[in-house]
Amino acid sequence: MEKVVDFIRKQFKEPEQFIPLHAPVFVGNEKKYLNECIDSTFVSSVGKFVDRFEADIKAITGAKSAVATTNGTAALHIALHALDVSTHDIVITQPLTFVATCNAIKYTGATPLFVDVDLETMGMSSSSLRTFFEEHCELRTGRCIHKRTGEIVKACVPMHTFGFPCDIKLIVEICEEWNVAVVEDAAESLGSWVGKQHTGTFGKLGVFSFNGNKIVTAGGGGCVVTDDIELGKKIKHLTTTAKQPHPWAYRHEELGFNYRMPNINAALICAQLECLPQFLEKKRTLATAYKMFFEKQEIIFKWEQEGTTANFWLNTLLLKDEHQKTAFLEATNKNGVMTRPIWDLMTTLPMYQDSLDVPIPNAEYLASRIVNIPSSVII
């Protein structure tokens, strides 16, 4: 393990100090734009940087509509709410994900149900998804009905784990057969592509996160993207407390949410987005170095699948077993190199442990073996 620690320290040019998992990097116009925002006095939810951020995201992803939000969880919640997901509905997702994915589903009152993941992508398995539909669902008057509960399967939320694109094309194709809307959890995959199409733009809606540990950050922040212009307008309205336009009156005709991204956060993310191409290049350089090193150590370093481009948000190792994983985590963290295991499976959490209809052997296998290693942009 000493070789691993020494190699990581060499990449980060840090012989002694603590090396975090993924720290933000500010090397562009962050201070300039923040000062502009402060001088303008528009530091809350109205201002030019919010508008610019939404335009920038459309340009980067190719989506026709983008709506800024306070964070990625809020983005996913409002996306599902805008599709009328509610109590007594079912939303399919994966058990190998950050808890915010499932929490956002639960906020709507819907029940999350889990299908397995692929060993290669660590994202939703299209074959497990198809099995779920064929064994547990039926179409009635154009709606996908869960045969055991009689509830409507309203949406499917696949996640691009650590920035590695899942089999999203086939997932969308299967869901279209069953009349189930796809909302992509692309929180971790800004800068990831399937062919020439950006993640987050395959489903009805896609969501991104700009938390402090992402490739680019607004301090917090998120957004919803879609090619449905009218749906985008609806989401923008709902995130601004559903307030009707009026010179002075406060009129709200439906339930809305205060999910607006403040202009001061938008100023920060606009500067960060200018650096995104540079950051992606630096992260690929680090990932390539890791790949070459760990292959010599006979440790599997997770790589992008053919036909996809990963952003390598978090560099990922697949170890031999639980014992090796624990030993790796103990040795690296003891020596000031931050590593972490993958999230606890959602099916092991008390609020979601009864939400399973199909086996999840791949998710269980990965959960016992995956670790993430330092992945910050090195300038």
- What are the tens digits of pLDDT across the range 257-284? 999 999 999 999 999 999 999 999 999 9
The rounded mean pLDDT for the chain is 97
Percent of the chain scoring above 70 in pLDDT: 100
Counting every residue written for the chain, the total comes to 379
Cα separation, 273 vs 63, whole angstroms: 16
Task: State yes or no: pLDDT of 356 exceeds 90.
Answer: no
Residue tagged 């030993």 (tokens) = 327
Cα separation, 350 vs 153, whole angstroms: 22
The structure's pTM equals 0.96
Q: Which tokens belong to 88? A: 């007594």
- For β-strands 197-198 and 193-194, DSSP reports them as antiparallel
pLDDT digits (tens, 9 = 90+) for 73-89: 999 999 999 999 999 99
Cα separation, 359 vs 95, whole angstroms: 11
- For β-strands 300-301 and 308-309, DSSP reports them as unpaired
Taking alpha carbons only, the member of 312, 290, 309 closest to residue 300 is 290
pLDDT digits (tens, 9 = 90+) for 130-168: 999 999 999 999 999 999 999 999 999 999 999 999 999
Q: Which tokens belong to 168? A: 């999203």
Q: Is 338 helix (H, G, I), strand (E, B) or coil?
A: coil
Residue tagged 């179409």 (tokens) = 139
Task: State yes or no: pLDDT of 354 exceeds 90.
Answer: no
Both ends of the chain: CA-CA distance in Å?
Answer: 26
Q: Say which residues have a Cβ less than 8 Å from residue 119's Cβ, sequence separation at least 6.
A: 362, 365, 366
pLDDT digits (tens, 9 = 90+) for 334-348: 999 999 999 999 999
Cβ atoms of 158 and 123 within 8 Å: the answer is yes
Provide DSSP, 120-158: TTSSB-HHHHHHHHHHHEEEETTEEEETTT--EEEEE--
Cα separation, 160 vs 232, whole angstroms: 22
CA angle 326, 328, 334 (to 5 degrees): 100
Q: Which of 127-131, 173-177, 240-244, 334-338 has the lowest mean pLDDT?
A: 240-244
Q: Which tokens belong to 110? A: 């819907």
Q: What is the mean pLDDT of residues 316-325?
A: 98
Instruction: Give the chain's domains with CATH numbers.
Output: 2-27+276-346+356-373 (3.90.1150.10), 30-275 (3.40.640.10)
